[in-house]
Amino acid sequence: MAGVEKILVDSGPLIALLVSRDQHHAWAHQQFERLAPPFLTCEAALSEAQFLVRRLGGNPLVVLDMVARGAVSVAFQVEDEIDRLRELQSAYRDVPMSLADACLVRMSELYSRCRLLTTDSDFRTYRRNGRQVIPSLLPNHD
């Protein structure tokens, strides 16, 4: 799936964008302004985002609104990638790797021309295709 660079998005930037008191709010706002949608993600990351937005006092429905208006697109089917997800979570069990993280690592393998928008420093540890660094945009590190 080469071609135009895809922007993958983790739950952290979604939460930071939607919760003004999040420490990465300004950074997330800047990234969503400068990067072109749609941002690709997985259902696990959307679930994490909704849960944490609600916990932080925000409106979790705004996460679904972003999908409804096409700013964020679900571009991954867990059932199609079970074997690879199990491999990844086994390999990184000491981190530990969440399902959302495993899905995003796998997405980075499927979309060879991509960058991952994340606030999660674990993505500095994770590798795609065995040894490749995952191109990422992190606060103060892009």
Closest by CA to 38, choosing from 14, 66, 78, is 66
Q: How confident is the model at residue 3, as a pLDDT?
A: 72
Structural domains of the chain in order of their starting residue, each with its CATH number: 6-136 (3.40.50.1010)
Describe the strand order of the beta sheet including 136-137 as a list of residue ranges: 72-74, 39-41, 6-9, 114-117, 136-137
> What are 13-53's pLDDT values in tens digits?
999 999 999 999 999 999 999 999 999 999 999 999 999 99
> What are 75-134's pLDDT values in tens digits?
999 999 999 999 999 999 999 999 999 999 999 999 999 999 999 999 999 999 999 999
